[in-house]
Amino acid sequence: MNDLALLERLCNVVRRTSLCGLGQSAPNPILSTLRYFRDEYVAHIESKTCQAHVCPTENTENTENAASAMQEVAV
């Protein structure tokens, strides 16, 4: 969880202090997702699950759930 704070701090510093426009805007997507989807970041760290079912590193049980969910959707 320390990493989240570090990530946020890093993003803010890079955004505020960069010389070029790329550096000033590159951290914005991360800051936005941290603001609106922080619970998903936390879920990845704490329960090693991916709420959006898109992570390849997710454990198999959840992948199977995701696969069946996908099938249901497809049907």
Q: Which residues bind other proteins (CB under 8 A)?
A: 2, 6, 9-10, 13, 16-19, 24
Closest to other proteins by CB, 10 vs 52, is 10
- Report DSSP letters for 8-44, one per residue: HHHHHHHHHH-SSHHHHHTTHHHHHHHHHSHHHHHHH
Closest to other proteins by CB, 15 vs 53, is 15
Shortest distance, position 35 Cβ to other proteins, whole Å:
19
Task: Judge whether 10 and 31 are in contact, CB under 8 Å.
Answer: no
Shortest distance, position 22 Cβ to other proteins, whole Å:
10
